[in-house]
Amino acid sequence: MAFGRKIRPKILIGRYRRIEDPEALQLPCGCYWSGEVAAEKLHINLRSQEQTIYTNLELLKAVQELRLIPDENGLLELLNAFWNKDIINEQLENVVPKPLIYVDLMLSGNHRNIEIAPELFE
């Protein structure tokens, strides 16, 4: 996928320690779940391990508000949001559109994520 090879590396801000209980965290305005956590929030049968957050906040503000701890081997990826905010899922706040969740699941390389990604569109 061209997105995974060309765009995603350019928008990756960094890796951080995972958030222990993503369900308990209210993401600040301008931050959006993708990948495993977003799939879980959409009631896909998946328990999140890795976490993906897209943000249009300034880096320092995002890190402070999310209380992120840098970790080059961390299970949380923080990426710059690159879309028009009007296309965000209206039914579920703070979740990216399904096609992006799908792509992030497919790019994870995790066989379970790849197997379950098509369920987003059932």
Q: What is the pLDDT of residues 28-70, one digit of tens each?
A: 988 999 999 999 999 898 889 999 999 999 999 999 999 999 9
Mean of all residue pLDDT scores within the chain: 90
Instruction: Quickly count helices (H) and strands (E) in the chain.
Output: 6, 4
Mean per-residue pLDDT, 96-116: 94
Predicted model pTM: 0.91
Which has the closest alpha carbon to 78: 10, 12, 23? 12
Strands 51-55 and 12-16: unpaired
Instruction: With cut-offs at 50, 70 and 90, classify the pLDDT of residue 6.
Output: confident
For residue 85, the model assigns a pLDDT of 66
For residue 92, the model assigns a pLDDT of 66
